[in-house]
């Protein structure tokens, strides 16, 4: 098992923790990570673009004028797509872009993303982190002490003061262990785990 230092908010070593090799030491495959990130981004798409086709336009179906003898084009109703205010031909309709990747693949991808952070030495474990008050500077000072600019922070209890203090800092996001996902792990340079969250993550992925 990999042994990682547990540090405090001043970057001073407090103790050590063993990380499960079946979760934090898995061979990384870019194709698996790509598949999961593509799924996550597709599931975020709104798919709300929609136009009115001929049947959606309000108006009469009566023929505008007789077929022959006027010297004009052969017109049908006011809903004709060629007329101003008529329906749209082959326009987009509201739909969902969501799809699912098998659960085993999603779990494997999460293990790979965690392993990548550990292998690239971008994983930090803190013993605790609970600001005394809601203040952005308090979180910024801790990140500076840790020498971290961008970070995904995983907090087991989602401390309200920590969440509110960090929301105005660009490149910082706080998540519970249950919300940990491949996209955010790859998006943020560093992963900061609070010690109690390690056990929850391992329990989720075993």
Model confidence at 1, pLDDT cuts 50, 70, 90, reads confident
**pLDDT number for residue 2:** 86
Q: How far is CA 51 from CA 77, 92, 175, in A?
A: 19, 6, 38
Q: To the nearest whole percent, how much of the chain has pLDDT over 90?
A: 93
Contacts by 73-82, CB closer than 8 A, 24 or more apart: 79/54, 79/55, 80/54, 81/54
Position 137 scores a pLDDT of 94
Q: Which tens digits make up the pLDDT trace of 103-130?
A: 999 999 999 999 999 999 999 999 999 8
pLDDT tens, residue by residue, 131-146? 889 999 999 999 999 9
- 2-45+97-205 homologous superfamily: Ribosomal protein L4/L1 (3.40.1370.10)
| CA nearest to 178, candidates 195, 158, 159, 160 | 158
The pLDDT score that the predictor gives to residue 158 is 87
Indicate the domain borders of the chain.
Answer: 2-45+97-205, 50-93
**Confidence check: pLDDT of 70 > 90:** yes
Q: Cβ(20)–Cβ(202) under 8 Å? A: yes
* pLDDT, tens only, 154-166: 999 888 999 999 9
């Amino acid at each position: 098992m990999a042994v990682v230092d547990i540090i405090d908010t001043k970057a001073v070593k407090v103790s050590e923790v063993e990380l499960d090799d079946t979760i934090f030491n898995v061979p990384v495959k870019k194709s698996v990570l790509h598949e999961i990130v593509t799924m996550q981004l597709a599931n975020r798409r709104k798919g709300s673009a929609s136009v009115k086709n001929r049947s959606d336009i309000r108006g009469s179906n009566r023929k505008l004028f007789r077929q022959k003898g006027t010297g004009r084009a052969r017109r049908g109703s006011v809903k004709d797509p060629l007329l101003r205010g008529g329906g749209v031909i082959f326009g987009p309709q509201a739909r969902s872009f969501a799809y699912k990747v098998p659960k085993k693949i999603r779990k494997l991808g999460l293990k790979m993303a965690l392993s990548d952070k550990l292998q690239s030495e971008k994983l930090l474990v803190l013993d605790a982190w609970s600001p005394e008050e809601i203040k952005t500077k308090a979180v910024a000072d801790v990140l500076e002490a840790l020498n971290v600019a961008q970070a995904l922070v995983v907090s087991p209890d989602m401390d309200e003061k920590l969440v509110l203090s960090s929301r105005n800092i660009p490149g910082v996001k706080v998540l519970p262990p249950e919300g940990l996902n491949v996209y955010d792990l790859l998006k943020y340079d560093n992963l900061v785990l609070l010690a109690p969250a390690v056990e929850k993550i391992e329990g989720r992925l075993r």
